[in-house]
């Protein structure tokens, strides 16, 4: 069974204090590993897709990396506006038994204090 686990469940940072969020995955026939940001009362907003181990993607203060078993979302010098829930998901290949479904982790609630 496909599984995605995120840690920690919640993370409190001071503004400017860099840190990382972890996403461990077991997805049969992984096509891509996705990161999303979700603000309260809104739908998840797509951030990154990572396709293969060693790949990195960056957007402003966020950098996502991928290994064969884990993905990390590094947050450099965060600001209060980075506060949100960050979700990762593994997407299976369309030809596999999971037929292209995404398996989501529970999310990490990030709070950045000024």
Partner 1 sequence: NAGVTQTPKFQVLKTGQSMTLQCAQDMNHEYMSWYRQDPGMGLRLIHYSVGAGITDQGEVPNGYNVSRSTTEDFPLRLLSAAPSQTSVYFCASSLYPGYEQFFGPGTRLTVL
Binding status of residue 105 toward partner 1 by CB under 8 A:
yes
Q: Interface residues for partner 1 in 31-50 (CB under 8 A)?
A: 31-32, 34, 36, 41-46, 49
Binding status of residue 92 toward partner 1 by CB under 8 A:
yes
On the 0-12 / 13-18 / 19+ scale of CB atoms within 10 A, 83 is middle
Binding status of residue 51 toward partner 1 by CB under 8 A:
no
Q: Pick one of 20, 99, 111, 113: the residue that binds partner 1 (CB under 8 A).
A: 99
Binding status of residue 62 toward partner 1 by CB under 8 A:
no
């Amino acid at each position: 069974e496909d599984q995605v686990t995120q840690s920690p469940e919640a993370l409190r940072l001071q503004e400017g204090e860099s840190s990382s969020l972890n996403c461990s995955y077991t997805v049969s026939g992984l096509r891509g590993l996705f990161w999303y940001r979700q603000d309260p009362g809104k739908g998840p907003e797509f951030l990154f897709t990572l396709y293969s181990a060693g790949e990195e993607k960056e957007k402003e203060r966020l950098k996502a990396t991928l290994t064969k078993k884990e993905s990390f979302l590094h947050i450099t010098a965060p600001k209060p506006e980075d506060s949100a829930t960050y979700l990762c998901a593994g997407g299976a290949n369309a030809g596999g038994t999971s037929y292209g479904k995404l398996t989501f982790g529970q999310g990490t609630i990030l709070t950045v204090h000024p």
